[in-house]
Amino acid sequence: MALKSIRDALDSGDTLIFGHRGAMAHAPMNTMASFQAAFAQGADGVELDVQFSKDRQLIVLHDRSVDATSDGLGAAKHLTVPQLKALDAGAWFAEAFAGETIPTLDEVFAAFGESLLINVEIKCDSAEAGEIAGAAAACIERFSCSGRVLVSSFNSLALRRLRAIAPGIMIGCLYECAAAEPQTGDFAGEALHPRRQLIDAAFMSRARERGYYVNTWTVNEPQRALELKRLGVNAIITDDPAAIIAALAQ
């Protein structure tokens, strides 16, 4: 069966499950093994983080440094893709994952672009917002997957630049406190991506009145996932897709 577009999936009435950085409860975050685990567990999609390497390639990595999730040291922006590829990005999690590498966004789209919906979170400073938005749009276009991708960011400038470059790509505004919620007219995207604690019936009513999809993070508690489903959130981003899928099936 062909993969639904992300808009059709969000409009389906089902609560979608996105693996946070893959299935990071089960495999090292933001690696191909983690994305494969999310797929195997039945996730509708995955959320991943992108930033620039030294040679201005889009790499899939959450932290600004490689220290915590590899056997290397230093800022990712000071390392080229070949240098990043030489690092072990799996053994820190478990010896079974030794040899996992830091993927590029191209590699993820090549492997999973036709089997998973993908939420690309842009990590950037405002000074590079335009460049990284352009690089993300170009990568999405190369793999002809604009209908299956949503781009989110805490950086509103990156989202505005992406919208100007590629208006057909869905965008979502990430935020973690109520004061940061976009006001009417401030955000021209399709989705709000609030922290899970911000969502209640009043929030959902307000979001629906304004025409937004609501995708929330990071939900690992089965009871909270059930509450969010009943409130009508469109997508739940979780470290443990298998557990949340099982909870919502009750």
193 catalytic per annotation = no
62 catalytic per annotation = yes
Catalytic residue among 26, 62, 78, 193: 62
In this structure, what token pair is assigned to residue 29? 């975050």
- What's the burial of 95, exposed, middle or buried (CB within 10 Å: 0-12/13-18/19+)? exposed
Q: In b/e form, how buried is each residue of 71-84, taking b as 16+ CB within 10 angstroms?
A: ebeeebeebebebb
**Interatomic CA distance for residues 84 and 70, integer angstroms:** 9
Catalytic residue among 20, 26, 78, 193: 20
Catalytic residues, by residue number, are 20, 62
